[in-house]
Structure formats: C-alpha cells, structure tokens
Chains A and B, each alone.
Chain A
Amino acid sequence: MSTLAAVGERSTWARVGARIRRHKMASFGATIVVVVALSALLAPWLSPHDPLEQDVLLRLASPTADFPLGNDSFGRDILSRILWGGRVSLYVSTVAVLIAIVVGGALGILAGYIGGLFDRIVMAAMDVLLSFPTLVMGLLVVAMLGPTVGNLILAITLTAIAPFARIARAPTLTVKERDFVEAGRALGFSNVRLMVVHILPNVVDDILVMAALWLATAIRTEASLSFIGLGVRPPTATWGGMIREGFENILDTPWLAIYPSLAILVVMFGLNMLGDGLRDTSDPRLRHE
C-alpha cells in the first residue's frame, strides 16, 4: 500500500514539475522564487557584511564598492540586511502556509468526504474564521500575544486555514461519488486509504495554485505587520521593518525604503506568476494561452 502511495506522490510532483517547465510564465516565476529563496537561505555566506554591524561614520552613506546599496541610519549595510531580511519573511510565510495546507486540506477533505453534520460544523467554523480580515487578525494576534516568530506564524495560519479547507472540500465532493472511489470501497479499502491515496491527488492541483498565491499573501501580511511595527523586533532585519525605518527618513533618503520594497515586489511578482501559470496549466480551458 505504501509503495502505491509513494508512486502516486512522485508522479504528482513530476507532473507538476513538467507543467511548470512547459509554461513560460510559470517557469519564469518559479525561477525568481528559487533565486530569492536561495539568496535568503545562503545569506550568511552571500552577504558582504554582518547585517547588525553598526558604523556611525557610515550613517545614511551613499552606495560604494564596499556597500553596493549604501547604509541605513545606523550605518548598517543595506544589501546584507535585505539578504538576511528575506529569511524571516520566507520562513514565517512558508511555515504558516504549510501548516494551513495540512490543517485546512485535511479539514476540507474530511468535511467533504464525511459530509452531513460534520461538514456543516467545519464549514461554519471556516466562515467564522473568514469573517476576520487577514491583516486585522494579524494585528490583534501579534499585539495581544507578542511580536515573536511563532505568533506571526500563528496569526497568518489562522487566516489561511479556511481558504485551503474550502478549496480541498469542493473537488472531494465530486471525486467521492466517482466510480473508482466506489470500487475502492467495494474492495474494502479503509476510509483513510480512500482519502489519502485516491482523493488527495485530485485535490493537489488546486491546493498548489492556492499555495503559491497564499505564500504571496503571507509574505505581504508579514511585511505589513513589520511595517506597522508588529513584526519581529529590531535589530533583526526584516523587509517590512526596513521599509518602516526607511519611511521615517523618506524625505532625505528615500532609497532606504525603496530597496527592501523592490525585494518584496520581486518575490511577490514571482509567486503570482507561478500561481497564475499553475492555474493556467491545470485549467484545460486556459491551457492554450
């Protein structure tokens, strides 16, 4: 049974990979995302300076060969801070979206598969979660519980679970009526096996499109909270926090806010292109674009 699951899994990933490669926009977006992720991952080796190292003499200094993007109001190297800042954003967003996929996806498949009262209760709970705007939920959770990485993840996860539950439930409702699921049931397969091996692969496509788009939303939320002052505490570099510091000096040194803004824009653009591309390739009506 486990080999069957493994084969299904591998072919799903191989299929998605092939689709991304075939689609120009998706592969361009995926390339951007991979480059940004690698630069954040390798920040300790790539960044020319310590992101926390201050130098009074270099306060708000213009770019030089040694400091290619200049220095901030503490004389810290902006390039190094951007490289390191990506780590917080990407870590928080990736973990939050992964938890939301697992929890939301499981709830959605269970609700769709079991149906009845359980379905109604789960979806009602999701409606309640959806009644709080993402940023407002984030503001409250982080303000009440404290600006830590764990609470940022919690805040973003709470708003991301409901969309994933909804997107997993819809295909489950139709797939569970199909003959191959009926056949599996007749063969005496357990409910868990039916859900994991036979229904899950039919849900993966929609979840992946959603994951790329929600990763962008999560990065935006994390940056927004840091910009408001509710992100990971300074001096830790985050893109949103850097823009906040830059915004305070916007009249004199606008580039302080612009460079980290560009970093966010690049990764958001990449994720949105990847998500759109994946959607195009999974929707046969749009396949010829």
Chain B
Amino acid sequence: MLTYIVKRLLVAVPTLLAVLTVVFFFVRIAPGDPAFIILGDQASQQAIAAVHQELGLDRPMLVQYLDFMSTVLRGDLGMSLVTHRPIWSEVANVLPYTIELTLTALVIGVVLGLPLGIAAARHRNEALDYAARVFSLLGLSFPAFVSAIMLLLAFAIELHWFPVISEARPGDPLSRVSALVLPAINLGLIMVAYVMRVARSSMLGVLGEDYIRTARSKGVPARVVIWRHALGNALIPVVTVVGLYLGVLIGNSVLTEIVFNRPGLGKLIVNSLNQRDYTMLEGLMVIYAFIIVIVNLLTDLTYGLIDPRVRQR
C-alpha cells in the first residue's frame, strides 16, 4: 500500500504544478490592466507605472512566473487588490460555511443514495426501482439554482419553515443549523441522484457475476450476499462518481450560496469577479484546483483501500 501511495503522490505533483502554471498564464493573458482597475481609467502614466512596480508587473514574465510559483508553493496567496488583506484570511473567513455545506450534502448523498441504489438494484423493474430511476433522472435534470429557487419558494416563502436569507446570527447555533438545512438539502438531493444511479447500475453489474450466483446457490442469505459479497466490488464506481462529482458539487455550491444569500467561497468568487479583484480570483482558482487534485488523489487511494488488485498495478 505504501508504494502505491507514493506512486499516486508522484503523479499528483506534476499535475498540480501544471495547474498552477495554467492559472498564472490564464490571468496574465486576460485583457484588462489591473492598474486601471485600482486607479480608474483616467490614471496618469506615472501612477500606472507605480502600481505595476508595486504589483511586480514590470518584471519579465519568467521572473514573475518563478516568483508566483515559489510564493504559492510556500502557501502564500498574496493580497486582495480590493481589500488589501491577505487572501488566506479572506478565504478563511468564509471557508467553514462552504465546507459545512458541501460535507453535509456529501453525507446526505451517500447515506441516502447508496442504500436506495442497492435497493433499486435488488428490486429491479419493480415499483421501487422505477421510482428511484425517475427521481435520479429528475435530480440530474435540475440545475442547482433552479432547485434552490423552488425550495426557497416552497419552504421559505410559502410555508415560512425556514428563513428566506440564510444568515446565521453569531452566538446562535440554532440559526446556523436552520440556515444550513435548505441549502444542504438542495445540494444533497442532487448528490443522492448521482450516487443512487451509479450504485444501482454497478450493483446490477456485480449481481450478474458468477461468484454471486455461486454464493446464492450455496444458500448464503440475500442480505449477506449484497452487503458482504457484492458491495465491495460495487463500491468502486461509486467512489469514482463521488470523486468526479466534486467538480459539480463546487459549481453547485456557488449557485446555492447565491440563491440562499449564504456566505462562502461561491459568494467570494462572484464578488471578486464583480470587483475585478484579479489576485483574489487567482488565489481562489489555485484553491479550487488544489482541492480537486487532492480529492482525485484521495479517490485513487480509496480504490487501493477497497480493491487490493488496484495496488498491484
């Protein structure tokens, strides 16, 4: 297992470096001079030159690139162009909100999606299976902001069960929970649809295998066949989907945060877009890409944990 972990790490590092390189050049080739954004269109040549010097934009591209890579790799993301505070502290302010939202959604997705998908596979072509498939198709069809608006309309505006603006009052833990419920259900239900559908189809695949027939004909109870014999093999595609789904989950969390007016990385990124805060955008891109690379690594390591055959490769 240890050599497997080291091998995966060695693959992740160059990907991460390449991602950072893309972020650097992407922000540099975009039209629009950050100096104009800070100073306005009427700025004098000297003022612009001064800002360029302050931001280090007057240096050769290669020097800027090496400087960017070395500071980012040391964990320093620089200062926001707009608030002049370190990007890390801006991110740290809202990150807990995004993490609690996405983790709750992930838990809802796996806890409901996995058993439902397995049940649908066991009762294939029965009512439960059809209901599960219609639900998962619906879940895949809802853009996160559309489902968020509908939940908001039904449960906050019509029924008044939850606050319309999901604002957690400091010192009031209950308000934080009630602010989390609707956004987490929104993200969670979409996740249930993804997990359920993969759990169902991979379970169907595994249940058709010879070793399952052998176990059944030996008289092993159905429950044991499913949970002990089949689940391990059926789990691998589910882990893949949970890993792949992270990209979707990040996008959906941005939309959910906007609709429910909830603090988080999503609101941060939209605000910095509106204010053209380039350094903040660069920092957020680095953070998002970093999260994805790490999760892909964890997904690979989970395969190794579930399936000993993967480690041999």
Contacts and interface: CB of A to CB of B under 8 A. Distances in A.
Interface of A: 124-125, 127-128, 130-136, 139-140, 143-145, 216, 220-221, 223-224, 227-228, 230, 243, 247, 250-251, 254, 257-258, 261, 264-265, 268-269, 272-273, 276, 285-286, 289
A136 B149 CA distance: 20
Interface string B144-174: 1110011011000100000000000000000
Given A136-B254, A224-B145, 18 more contacts: A124-B15, A128-B22, A133-B250, A133-B251, A135-B254, A139-B269, A139-B270, A140-B26, A143-B273, A145-B30, A223-B143, A228-B270, A243-B149, A247-B149, A254-B157, A257-B149, A268-B142, A269-B137
Contact of B153 (A254, A264, A289): A254
A257 B145 CA distance: 11
Given A250-B153, A261-B149, A140 B140 contact: no
B285 A128 contact: no
Nearest to A275: B140
Interface of B: 14-15, 18-19, 22, 26-27, 30-32, 124-125, 137-138, 140-146, 149-150, 152-153, 157, 201, 204-205, 208, 246-248, 250-252, 254-255, 258-259, 269-270, 273, 281, 284-285, 288-289, 292-293, 296
Nearest to B124: A289
A27 to B, nearest CB: 15
A273 B136 CA distance: 11
Given A250-B157, A261-B150, A265-B141, A133 B273 contact: no
A140 B250 CA distance: 14
Report whether over half of chain A's contact residues are helix, strand or loop; otherwise say mixed. Answer: helix
A68 B120 CA distance: 41
A124 B27 CA distance: 21
Please indicate which of the listed interface residues B125, B205, B251 has the most CB atoms of chain A within 10 Å of its own CB: B251
